[in-house]
Amino acid sequence: MAQLWGGRFTKETDQLVYNFNASIGFDQKFYRQDIEGSIAHVTMLESIGVLSAAERDQIVGGLNSILSDIESGTIEITSEYEDIHSFVEANLIDRIGDAGKKLHTGRSRNDQVALDMKLYTRDEITSLKELLKDLMENLHQIMKDNLDTFMPGFTHLQKAQPVTLAHHAGAYMEMFKRDYSRLTDIYERMNYCPLGSGALAGTTYPLDRKMTADLLDFYGPTLNSMDSVSDRDYIIELLSALSTVMMHLSRFSEEIIIWNSNEYQFVSIDDGFSTGSSIMPQKKNPDIAELVRGKTGRVYAALNSILTTMKGIPLAYNKDMQEDKEYTFDAIDTVKGCLSLFTGMIKTMTFHKDRMENSAKNGFTNATDAADYLVNHGVPFRDAHGIVGQLVLLCIEKGISLDELSLEEYQEISPAFAEDIYDAISMKTCVEKRNTIGAPGQDAMKKVIKINEAYLKEL
- Catalytic residue IDs: 156, 277
Residue 5 CB coordination number (10 Å) = 10
Cβ neighbors of 78 (< 8 A, separation 6 or more) are 24
Give phi and psi for 193, each to the nearest 5: -90, 125
Contacts of residue 369, defined as CB under 8 A and 6 or more positions apart, other chains included, come to 424, 425, 429, 430
Determine contact, residues 179/241, Cβ cutoff 8 Å: yes
E strands within 141-285? 150-155, 158-164, 267-268
159 forms beta bridges with 154
Peptide bond into 316 cis (omega under 30): yes
In 3-state terms, what secondary structure has residue 200? coil
Query: Are 109 and 4 in contact, with CB atoms under 8 Å apart?
Result: yes
Euclidean distance between the first and final Cα of the chain, in Å? 47
Residues 6+ apart with CB under 8 A from 259: 265, 266, 267
334 membership: H or E segment, kind and range: helix 324-347
Contacts with 15 (C-beta within 8 Å, 6 or more apart), sequence order: none
Q: What is the spatial distance between Cα 276 and Cα 293, in angstroms, rounded to a whole number?
A: 18
Pair 286, 256: CB distance under 8 Å: yes
Tally Cβ neighbours within 10 Å of residue 200. Answer: 18
Q: DSSP string spanning 420-454?
A: THHHHTSHHHHHHT--STTSSSHHHHHHHHHHHHH
With a CB cutoff of 8 Å and minimum separation 6, the contacts of 363 are: 152, 159
Q: What share of the chain is helix, strand, coil (3-state, %, to 5)?
A: 65, 5, 30
- Number of neighbours of residue 126 by Cβ within 10 angstroms: 11
Cα atoms in the Cβ-side hemisphere of radius 13 Å centred on 226: 4
